[in-house]
Structure formats: C-alpha cells, structure tokens
Amino acid sequence: MELMYQSTRSEGTKVTASQAILKGLAGDGGLFVPESIPALDISLETVSKMSYKETAYEVMKLFFTDFTEEELKDCIGKAYDDKFDTKEIAPLAEKAGVYYLELFHGATIAFKDMALSILPHLLVTSAKKNNIKNEIVILTATSGDTGKAALAGFADVKGTKIIVFYPKNGVSRIQERQMVTQKGSNTHVIGITGNFDDAQSGVKAMFNNKELAQVMESKGYQFSSANSINIGRLVPQVVYYVYSYAKLLADGAVKEGEPVNFVVPTGNFGNILAAYYAKNMGIPVGKLICASNENKVLFDFFKTGTYDKNREFILTSSPSMDILVSSNLERLVFKIAGEDAKATADMMDALSNNGKYVITDSMKEQLKDFESGWAGENQTFAEIRRVYNETGYVMDTHTAVASAVYHDYKERTGDNTVTVIASTASPYKFGTSVMGAIDSKYKDMDDFLLIDELSKVSKTNIPKAVEEIRQAPVLHTTVCETQDMQKSVEKILGI
C-alpha cells in the first residue's frame, strides 16, 4: 500500500514520497510528514545479520513506497560506496561502557553525509518519475556541515544546480575551507553577514515566494531543498538508528527487545527526530536525550513547554548547533498536537511573528520519550579532555556536548540502560578546539598545522577530505548581506 505525505500546516492534497522529495517544502510553508510511521516488517534478529545497505533498503522501502525495488537499491548502492572510509558505513566504537555511533566516515567527515550521499540520487529519480523537465535548483542554508555535504553530493549531477548560504563568521575554518574550495560547474557558495537563522529564514522566504517561483518556472527552473526539512534527508537518517540497534544485538550488547538510549547533539532537530521515527517503527528505544550547547532553546522547550527564540545568539565551538529556530521540531509538534494542522500552523505563525509559542499540557505529556540537557564551552572542553585521558578516544566538540549531557543525565538519574551517543563529526573538522581542549599548548596553533598533531594523538589517519583541502584553491568568494540573498540567487540563475 502506498504511503502518502501531508503538510504539517494544512489539510491539503497529499503527495507521494517522490513528490515530497522534489518539493522539499510544502506550498503552505509546512513540512512533509508521512500519514503514519510504518512499522519495521522484519525481525531485528534478521536485521542484525544485514549490511548497512541491506538495512537501508528495509527501512527506506517502507517510507518511499512509490520507488521500485530496482530504483531504491540503485540509489542506495550509489550512495553507500567507497566514498565511505569504513566498510560498516556507521561503526560503533565502545569506550568505557558507552557506544559512540561514528557518523563521520563519509566524503565530508560529518553525519550529513549519511543522508546527503543518497539525496541527489533520490531527487534525480523522483524527477524522472514525475516527468520533470525543469532544472532543479537546490537552495540550502548551512550552519557548517550540511553545506559541504550537499555540495559534494550534488556536484556535477546533471539537471541540478546547488546554491549554499552560510554565516561568514559562524563556521570553523575547516568547514569554510571545505565549502569555498568545492569543485563542480553547478556549485555556488555564498557567505552572508548574518547568522545561520538569518540564512535559513532567507532560504525559506525564497521557497515561499510565489512570484519568484513563477519567474523560475518560465526560465525552466524549480527549487528543492537539501536541508533536513526535506523528507529525503530525514528518512535516510532513520536507517542508522535501526542499524546501530541491530549491531548491538549482533554483538550481544543487548537482548532483542531490550531498550537502548540515544543521545544526540541537536541543532535543527532532524537527527534526533530520525531516532524518534526509529522508535515509532518499533526499535526498542528507551530515552531520547536531546543535547544542546549554550544556545539551549530546545533544552528550555523540553523543560517548560515554551519555545522562545527571543534570546542572545551565541557563537560556540559546536557551530552546527548554533541555531535558535529548530525547523524539524515542527514535525514533532504536529505529531503531539494530534496531527492538527491548524494548531501547528498557528504555533509556527506565533514563532514567526512573536518569536515564541507555547504547547498545551496534553502535548507536553507526550514528550516523555525525551530528556534534555545542555553543556557550556568549559564543560564541552573538559569532556573532550576527560574522555581522551581515560580512553585515548578523541571526539569533536558536538559529540563532546552530547557526551557531557549524557554523563550528567546518568549521574542525575542512575539510568544504566545501554547508551549510544551520536558522534556527528570528525575531530579533524574542529582541530583547534579539540586539541586546545586536550592540551593548552595547542591553543594558538592554526587548524591546518594541528592536523598532523591530531593524527598522532588520536592514532588515526588524516581523512582524505582534510588532506584534499590543505592546498586546494578557493573557488567561491561571494559574500552578501542577508537582505540580498534573493538577488544573489537571481544573478546566478540569470533571471
């Protein structure tokens, strides 16, 4: 039976999976969600004997029901190939009784690769299925990692262009260098003078601009999104939570049916929402622990039931979490509002107009699956140092936030459930912060000079993604004011 998708903000026409992937954002500004979350239709014991690709097919076939088996397996095969530097794709590293799910073994050494390796193939297949003749323009805002992963995924993919906006002074030097050295005749990278939320708001405004859409249509273009708001980004992320549970089962770390906690460093809420979807598919998940940095808007939401973005925006050493508007939370709000599209739309309007909204007590009651915590900069650095000193394992700043929040949670609750921490980026991406945390003697060294030191300290090979950008020429130098984002897009497209 075909699974259809609906907007979180209206009772409008339902669309197929391929149509939802193509559109990215619903016409009313809402996000596409499946009519229901399908249950996994094979046993976890069976999944425990499967490869990552095989697991991906078993999960995605339930969500993307208008794709044929051949189409879906082709997309999966092209995505999870030798661009990953480990056969497991998403290995589990056990350190001092905690499991780190390493999601950074792809081409751009961050977890976004897990979904952005497959999204271009899903999009191109979706365009063919729907007889789309227009060139697809991927329009994306990034807080650091999505941009490079999307650029790498879409570079020179026929029938597409990709335009990435990032906060000029809000990403690490390695992150920026990865983006501005990106090759590909269809790739465009633009720094903005604002922060990530400004970039994201500008992108959403263009998606919702009907006049712009008409002009683009007349010129043979249409927008789609590579941000985590695209359902084609979210569903592939569900896979690695299913896979990691199955691996724990295969290794005898848990018995079938025994719950596992997941701790996820969280900014735009997509990664932890994928874990929530996995739980709703039937994966035995105990607590979903939402870890925030000093931009703790999500922590406050889970504690109070009020989402309030009216606060200082803080630049931290974990920039992918420097977000005050967590777009994917809308999907969870829709679910706990009883799939009431009007109530969801009203709350999103309140967020847009007043910077905040409040959920009802009955909605708050449905958040029992979630715990939340936050870690400041000093705590983050202390956690990197503690884990390294105790185990020799080196983690990046985002993973350290999650690790610190988990240890606080465990101390507070005494919960000894087997726990997996989503390790969302390679420490090589944040060398200055990571090495400075391990030893203050490294604090004033340049990111690129620290790479060799980090390799020695962590006893790991320098990732190809980092080696490649050391000497790569800068190909993208455009910077614009936030209010000029649309003008920049129009210039690129010649409209």
> What pLDDT sits at residue 445?
82
In three-state form (DSSP H/G/I as H, E/B as E, the rest C), the secondary structure along the chain is CCCCEEECCCCCCCECHHHHHHHCCCCCCCCEEECCCCCCCCCHHHHCCCCHHHHHHHHHHHHCCCCCHHHHHHHHHHHCCCCCCCCCCCCEEEECCEEEEECCCCCCCECHHHHHCCHHHHHHHHHHHCCCCCEEEEEEECCCHHHHHHHHHHCCCCCEEEEEEEECCCCCHHHHHHHHCCCCCCEEEEEECCCHHHHHHHHHHHHCCHHHHHHHHHCCEEEECCCCCCHHHHHHHHHHHHHHHHHHHHCCCCCCCCCEEEEEECCCCHHHHHHHHHHHHCCCEEEEEEEECCCCHHHHHHHHCEEECCCCCCCCCCHHHCCCCCCCHHHHHHHHCCCCHHHHHHHHHHHHHHCEEECCHHHHHCCCCEEEEECCHHHHHHHHHHHHHHHCCCCCHHHHHHHHHHHHHHHHHCCCCCEEEEECECHHHHHHHHHHHHCHHHCCCCHHHHHHHHHHHHCCCCCHHHHHHHCCCCCCCEEECHHHHHHHHHHHHCC
Per-residue confidence band for 172, with pLDDT thresholds at 50, 70 and 90? confident
Per-residue confidence band for 225, with pLDDT thresholds at 50, 70 and 90? confident
Per-residue confidence band for 250, with pLDDT thresholds at 50, 70 and 90? very high
Count CB neighbours of 98 within 10 A: 19
- Sign of the alpha-carbon torsion through 110, 18, 31, 5: negative
228, pLDDT greater than 90: no
Look at the block and give the residue holding tokens 């060139």: 135
> What pLDDT sits at residue 229?
87
**How far from 458 is each of 19, 227, 385, CA to CA, in Å?**
44, 32, 12
Residues recognised as catalytic:
112
What gap in Å lies between CA 70 and CA 50, rounded to an integer? 18
Q: What are phi and psi of 356, to 5 degrees?
A: -160, 160
> What pLDDT sits at residue 337?
97
What gap in Å lies between CA 463 and CA 255, rounded to an integer? 35
What gap in Å lies between CA 298 and CA 320, rounded to an integer? 14
Per-residue confidence band for 446, with pLDDT thresholds at 50, 70 and 90? confident
Per-residue confidence band for 211, with pLDDT thresholds at 50, 70 and 90? very high
Per-residue confidence band for 41, with pLDDT thresholds at 50, 70 and 90? very high
Lowest mean pLDDT among 296-310, 407-421, 468-482: 468-482
> What pLDDT sits at residue 97?
94
Which of residues 197 and 382 earns the better pLDDT score?
A: 382
Which of residues 430 and 59 earns the better pLDDT score?
A: 59
Per-residue confidence band for 418, with pLDDT thresholds at 50, 70 and 90? very high
**How far from 201 is each of 7, 110, 214, CA to CA, in Å?**
19, 24, 20
What whole-number percentage of the chain has pLDDT above 70? 100
> What pLDDT sits at residue 449?
82
Do the beta carbons of residue 61 and residue 69 sit within 8 Å?
A: yes
> What pLDDT sits at residue 1?
80
State the amino acid at position 441 in one-letter form.
K
What gap in Å lies between CA 122 and CA 493, rounded to an integer? 23
> What pLDDT sits at residue 20?
96
What gap in Å lies between CA 265 and CA 323, rounded to an integer? 12
Residue 223 β-bridge partners: 137
Do the beta carbons of residue 116 and residue 140 sit within 8 Å?
A: no
411, pLDDT greater than 80: yes
Which of residues 297 and 322 earns the better pLDDT score?
A: 297
Q: What are phi and psi of 28, to 5 degrees?
A: -90, 10
The dihedral over CA atoms of 89, 287, 6, 229, expressed in degrees to the nearest 10, equals: -50
Indicate the average pLDDT of the chain. 95
68-123: pLDDT as tens digits: 999 999 999 999 999 999 999 999 999 999 999 999 999 999 999 999 999 999 99
66-80: pLDDT as tens digits: 999 999 999 999 999
What gap in Å lies between CA 117 and CA 75, rounded to an integer? 9
> What pLDDT sits at residue 173?
85
443, pLDDT greater than 90: no
143, pLDDT greater than 90: no
> What pLDDT sits at residue 27?
87
326, pLDDT greater than 90: yes
Per-residue confidence band for 347, with pLDDT thresholds at 50, 70 and 90? very high
Per-residue confidence band for 33, with pLDDT thresholds at 50, 70 and 90? very high
Give 10: exposed, middle or buried? Use CB within 10 Å, 0-12, 13-18, 19+.
Answer: middle
Average pLDDT over residues 276-290: 98
The per-residue b/e assignment along 434-454, b for 16 or more CB within 10 angstroms, e otherwise, is bbbbbeeebeeeebbebbebb
What gap in Å lies between CA 178 and CA 107, rounded to an integer? 11
Do the beta carbons of residue 266 and residue 326 sit within 8 Å?
A: yes
What gap in Å lies between CA 452 and CA 466, rounded to an integer? 11
